[in-house]
Amino acid sequence: MSSKNIANPAPLGLAGFGFTTILLNLVNAGLIGTSTEVTLVLTMGLFFGGLCQFVAGYWAYKLDEVFPATAFSAYGAFWETFAFYLLLTQVFELVEPAAGTGLGAYLILWGIFTFYMWINSFYHNWNLVGVFGTLWVLFFLLGVHGFYGGNSLLQLAGWLGIVCGSWAVWTSFCFIFQEHTDIKLPGIGKPLQK
């Protein structure tokens, strides 16, 4: 299959990331309960947040687009690992949940990765700058919560996660909308030129 036959994978990857992020952070913000919703986060994380982003990452690699290929593949792996963690610890209870410091370190490492992706997003478009900017702060807030706890910190992270996920969904919409119209929506132009 030549790359000419591959559509832009960004709308799918951003939608998978965005909607899954919103769902998880509705739980973190305390807007929906946590008992049965964990299975919804798990299944959405496995398939829409994980699998769909892997597919989008593969397409981006085929298009020789390193930034989206890295982002979609990595965050697809994030959702797969997080969903398997929930599966092992909360659904099947095969292993004990990680201590707060272990989970905190996991989230801080994702924050570091996201921070350098945010820096590179400045060469793409303003909406991606917003998505990655809110995401690295979200990971650090969740990491600090892992180390120190605090319900108000988790709720703050949840609200920021809803903003981050919504921004990703908006960016997905913009890509699809502009594919079918001549109307340019805010935030899709490149902030910096190479």
CA dist 17 → 13, 36, 59, 69, 90 (Å): 6, 21, 16, 14, 22
Does the residue 88 lie in any domain?
yes
The pLDDT value given to residue 5: 81
The pLDDT value given to residue 92: 84
Task: Say how many domains are in the chain.
Answer: 1
The residue segments making up the domain with residue 107 are: 3-180
The pLDDT value given to residue 94: 86
The pLDDT value given to residue 48: 97
The residue type of 47 is F
**CATH number of the domain that 104 lies in?**
1.25.40
The pLDDT value given to residue 158: 98
CA distance 122 to 120: 5
Does the residue 43 lie in any domain?
yes
The pLDDT value given to residue 100: 84
CB 162, CB 134: distance < 8 Å: no
Does the residue 187 lie in any domain?
no
Which pLDDT tens digits describe the chain residue by residue (194 residues)? Answer: 556 688 999 999 999 999 999 999 999 999 998 666 778 899 999 999 999 999 999 999 999 999 999 999 999 999 999 999 988 988 888 888 888 899 999 999 999 999 999 999 999 999 999 999 999 999 999 999 999 999 999 999 999 999 999 999 999 999 999 888 888 777 777 776 55
Does the residue 189 lie in any domain?
no
Does the residue 172 lie in any domain?
yes
The pLDDT value given to residue 192: 67
**Residue 158: partners with Cβ closer than 8 Å, 6 or more residues away:** 25, 26, 27, 28, 29, 30, 31
